[in-house]
Amino acid sequence: MALDKIKRMFIELANIARFVGRFFKELFNPPFEFKEIIRQCYEVGWKSLPLISLTGFVVGFVFTNQSRPSLQEFGATSWLPALISIAIIRALAPLVTALISAGKVGSNIGAELGSMNVTEQIDAMEVSGTNPFKFLVVSRVIATTFMIPILTFYSAFVGLLGGFLNINQNENTSFLSYFYEVFDAVDFLDLFAMGFRSIIFGFTIGIVGCYQGYHSSKGTEGVGRAANWSVVMSMFLIFVEELLIVQILQGLRV
Amino acid sequence: MIKQHTSTIDYNDKVIDIHDVYKSFGTLEVLKGVDLQLFKGENLVVLGRSGTGKSVLIKLISGLLMPDQGTINVLGEQVDELDVKELQKLRLRIGFSFQSSALYDSMTIRENLEFPLVRNKRHLKRAEIDESVENVLEAVGLSQTINQMPSELSGGQRKRIGIARTLILQPDIMLYDEPTAGLDPITCIDINNLINEVQQQYKTSSIIITHDLACAKTVGDRIVMLLDGRFERQGNFDEIFDTDDARVKPFHDYNFID
Amino acid sequence: MSKADNKRSIILGIFVLVGIGILFAAIFTLGGQQNRFAKKVEIKAVFDNVEGLKTGNNIWFSGVKIGIVKAVHFRDDRKVELVLGIDDKSHEYIRKNSTAKIGSDGLIGNKIIVIEGGSTDVPPVESGDELRTLKGTDTEKMMSTLQVNNENLVGITENIRQLSQKVLRGEGTIGAALTDSIMANNMRTMMASLTQAATNTNKVTAALANFTAKLNTQGSLANELLTDTVVYSNLRAAVAQLQGVTQTASALTTNLGQASEKLNTSLSSPDNTLGLLLSDKATATTIKQTMVNLEASTAKLDENMEALQHNFLLRGFFKKRDKEAAKAKEAEEKAQQ
């Protein structure tokens, strides 16, 4: 039975590889579903903005508050802005945005495509002369790949504002000097790395959600599993990717 | 009420010709050498128990599945030999009514109906699209639902909208997958009548997959029975059940306990 | 396109625009603040050792950031050449004879290049110029100097220890003089007598206190006795004698003080035999040399201390150093006795 399991795992891996390959093939083949892409971008980006902003703000505020005592021990609370800046731009903003989006957007995609699969909507699309892969999968993956980075910029900005609010309350640091120190602590590599990794995270969320939904087993149970696995898989992959990206960046930085 | 003979059937014109088709999923052999012809203007009912591969048959016809063996000729085209574009083109001439209606949940009824039109006939003007939408809605008798969402409709209404959505491209062939499944008897009668109306009004040739004998009786010009992966019996309703075959009799008795 | 689609597109457009706007604002703030986009004058500086300085580190002039290190690479002679990007607007204040050295930003901060000096009659630097370099406060070097001092100090301490041991064992002339002296014997006796006297005085005082307490008790024998004038006058005489004893003891202490003072002077004065021995013999020279060495090392230590005193990483080291210094002082005192 173990052999069977391993066999199934390899088949699954092959399916995933084929799915990703098909995505890139269809990505560059016309016709392009611009209208659907815009619709999905709206759903993924704009509809997630309130949630992402709120989490970003809370993370910035709380992180600042929790970091203060250890810096206070050295009398180095003046380093708080630099600490927050590095933490938010290098790690927290992309990671928190990606994880929240995996929960919100990823599960949504998994469930939506899953239920479309179960109720034969994907077949219906195919027989009515529309390439469902292009219409459903490509548009969604493009949307997440481009919207997650933008959401990350928002969440970084709002997170830094959260940090500022906390620092302003406790240390009375002015807005200008706070942001001066924030930008003193990071460099271009940090900004680009933030963009780069959130593009990777966005792609992961989209492709995992779509794969799970598109290949969900028939039946209502399959929809639930598709939604659930979209979140679990993409979160797991995000952490693995983060680990790899950190290694690469360390190599670049030296 | 047994369906009266339809005079418009042209028995010289085979719109679908299936020959010796095999299809299996893993170790499960579903179709084992199927032969089937559909004539122009005819309503063909495929009867069979659940899981006997009736749906597989029409998915093969529309190219959603490919046969392991055998040939499928639809409207003069060899389905299993077409490339993606040609298949797409052929599919526009085939209407497919799904068992679960398959309305797009995220779109309104109007958007659902115009979806095939907008995406396949891009040259059409807004007014022409609107007119087509209103026409098919009227044909299925649901003009008032145009701005509603699919989730707001009943099962019967959804089924009708599903049929309307396939009609909007004015197909030559209609494939109905369990059109009356999950509906109450009165609604079933409505749907059956609709299928006959479509046959008359849109001049379609249809395959109706069902296990509902009332439906088969009402809409079928000819009935075939799928038994053990092959078509064993065919004829009109009375001919089919004029037998002692132990696989056929319970089918009839279960449906008509009176 | 329907109305809903239009509205959606507009909102999405605004959303994306603002999001990208945030990125652009960040890039320009970063660029402006770190002066990445400002025009630069590139000058060179060559060091033997850059102590971990890397591309992107800041350049300070009079405590103001005026540029960043653009490149770090080796020259053919294995020295390290730095390319310094100096902001166009600041480069006129840097003169051709200014010097560059490597410093650090804060106590444990990044390495920085510190540019200093330069006279106003010399023209400002131009692109391609090479600045003179100074060796900065090289922590490692400081540590190695300190290490040498440390070793010296250990040697000195060892010498002193051996010397004092010899003195104690009565080896050598001084030792013998010190141990065999009659004066020392006398002194010991004197001390013993004095201790005896002090003990006696104590006892008398205690008895007296006891007696006084009894005197105050009404109806006791002593109380009755007190009313008797004869007994009282006797008692007064006894107390007076006791006072006399105490005075004698005090005189004795004074004498003893003088005696020890004399001993001290005899040790330092060359007229005295003992003093002569100390100042003329080779051992005395050694001690003197020791003192000189010690003084020198203390002075060096002072310098280093000054340089390092704020560096908390070295704080532990200094604590140890203090302890050793105290030890050395003790040994020194021992030797002097």
Backbone angles phi, psi at C28, to 5 degrees: -75, -35
Instruction: Scan for tokens 């000054």, then name that residue.
Output: C306
How would residue C276 be classed by pLDDT, with cut points 50, 70 and 90? very low
Q: What is the pLDDT of residues A108-145, one digit of tens each?
A: 999 999 999 888 888 888 888 888 888 999 999 999 99
With beta carbons less than 8 A apart as the criterion, state whether B67 and B45 touch. no
Asked if A148 has any chain C CB less than 8 Å from its own CB, the reply is no
With beta carbons less than 8 A apart as the criterion, state whether A226 and A111 touch. yes
Chains that touch B (3 or more CB pairs under 8 A): A
Which pLDDT score, from 0 to 100, does residue A141 have? 94
Q: Which is higher by pLDDT, C67 or B6?
A: C67
Measure CB to CB from residue B116 to each of A119, A120, A129 and give the nearest one: A129
Residues A145-167, mean pLDDT to the nearest whole number:
93
Q: Chain A: give the shortest CA distance to residue C83, in Å.
A: 18
C18 contacts in chain A (CB < 8 Å): 154
Asked if B122 has any chain A CB less than 8 Å from its own CB, the reply is no
Q: What is the pLDDT of residues B12-63, one digit of tens each?
A: 888 888 888 888 887 888 888 888 888 888 888 888 777 777 888 888 888 8
Mean pLDDT of chain A: 89
Which pLDDT score, from 0 to 100, does residue A98 have? 94
A153 contacts in chain C (CB < 8 Å): 19-20, 22-23, 26
Backbone angles phi, psi at A193, to 5 degrees: -65, -40
Q: Tell me the C-alpha distance between B41 and B173, whole Å.
A: 9
With a cut of 50, say whether residue C119 has pLDDT above it.
yes
Which of A113, A114, A144 lies closest to A43 in space, CA to CA? Answer: A144
Mean pLDDT of chain C: 71
Which pLDDT score, from 0 to 100, does residue A250 have? 85
Q: Which is higher by pLDDT, C142 or C310?
A: C142
In A, minimum Cα distance to B90 occurs at: A129
C-alpha dist (Å) from residue A205 to A51, A98, A208, A239: 17, 8, 5, 12
From A83-87, A121-125, C140-144, the region with the lowest mean pLDDT:
C140-144
Question: What are C's interface residues with A at a Cβ cutoff of 8 A?
Answer: 1, 5, 8-9, 11-12, 15-16, 18-20, 22-23, 26-27, 29-31, 33-34, 36, 56
Best C9, C15, C24 residue to mutate vs chain A (most A CBs within 10 Å)? C15
Which pLDDT score, from 0 to 100, does residue C26 have? 87
Q: Chain A: give the shortest CA distance to residue B175, in Å.
A: 11
Contacts 24+ apart (CB under 8 A), A61-70: A61/A162, A61/A163, A61/A165, A61/A166, A62/A162, A63/A87, A63/A88, A63/A92, A63/A159, A63/A163, A64/A162, A64/A163, A64/A166, A64/A167, A65/A166, A68/A170
Backbone angles phi, psi at A139, to 5 degrees: -65, -40
Best C1, C7, C8, C17 residue to mutate vs chain A (most A CBs within 10 Å)? C8
Which pLDDT score, from 0 to 100, does residue A106 have? 93
Phi-psi domain of C336 (left: phi exceeds 0; alpha: psi -120 through 50; beta: other) = alpha
Instruction: Kindly provide the ipTM of the predicted complex, given to two decimals.
Output: 0.83
With beta carbons less than 8 A apart as the criterion, state whether B17 and B39 touch. no
Best B25, B27, B60, B64 residue to mutate vs chain A (most A CBs within 10 Å)? B64
Residues A13-39, mean pLDDT to the nearest whole number:
88
Which pLDDT score, from 0 to 100, does residue C161 have? 79
With a cut of 80, say whether residue C60 has pLDDT above it.
yes
Q: Which is higher by pLDDT, A29 or C106?
A: A29
How would you list the strands of the sheet with B43-47, edge to edge? B94-97, B173-177, B205-210, B43-47, B222-227, B230-235
Backbone angles phi, psi at C270, to 5 degrees: -75, -15
From A21-35, A106-120, B229-243, C88-102, the region with the lowest mean pLDDT:
B229-243
From B163-177, B224-238, C20-34, C130-144, the region with the lowest mean pLDDT:
C130-144
Q: Which of helix, strand or coil describes residue C138?
A: coil
Question: What are A's interface residues with B at a Cβ cutoff of 8 A?
Answer: 112, 115-116, 118-121, 123-130
Which pLDDT score, from 0 to 100, does residue A61 have? 94
CB atoms within 10 A of CB C229: 8
Q: Chain C: give the shortest CA distance to residue A8, in Å.
A: 42
Most confident range, picked from A63-72, A147-156, A188-197, C183-192: A147-156
Q: What is the pLDDT of residues B116-149, one digit of tens each?
A: 888 887 788 888 888 888 888 888 888 888 888 8
Which pLDDT score, from 0 to 100, does residue C246 have? 66
Which of A83, A250, A104 lies closest to A173 in space, CA to CA? Answer: A83
Q: Tell me the C-alpha distance between C130 and C115, whole Å.
A: 12
Which domains are present in chain B?
10-93+173-255 (3.40.50.300), 102-170 (no CATH)
Q: Tell me the C-alpha distance between B129 and B149, whole Å.
A: 19
Q: Do A128 and B98 touch (CB under 8 A)?
A: no
Best B59, B105, B122, B207 residue to mutate vs chain A (most A CBs within 10 Å)? B105
With a cut of 90, say whether residue B246 has pLDDT above it.
no
Q: Chain B: give the shortest CA distance to residue A119, in Å.
A: 5
With a cut of 80, say whether residue B194 has pLDDT above it.
yes
Which pLDDT score, from 0 to 100, does residue B257 have? 46
Task: Quote the tokens at residue C292.
Answer: 């000189």
Rounded to 10°, the helix B126-140/B109-120 angle is 130
Which pLDDT score, from 0 to 100, does residue A165 have? 93
Q: What is the pLDDT of residues B204-244, one digit of tens each?
A: 888 998 888 888 888 888 888 887 777 777 777 777 777 76
Torsion sign, CA atoms B4, B7, B12, B14? negative
Task: Quote the tokens at residue A105.
Answer: 């957007």
Task: Quote the tokens at residue C293.
Answer: 């060495």
With a cut of 60, say whether residue C314 has pLDDT above it.
no
With a cut of 90, say whether residue A241 has pLDDT above it.
yes
Mean pLDDT of chain B: 82
With a cut of 50, say whether residue C275 has pLDDT above it.
no
Q: How many percent of chain B have pLDDT more than 90?
A: 0
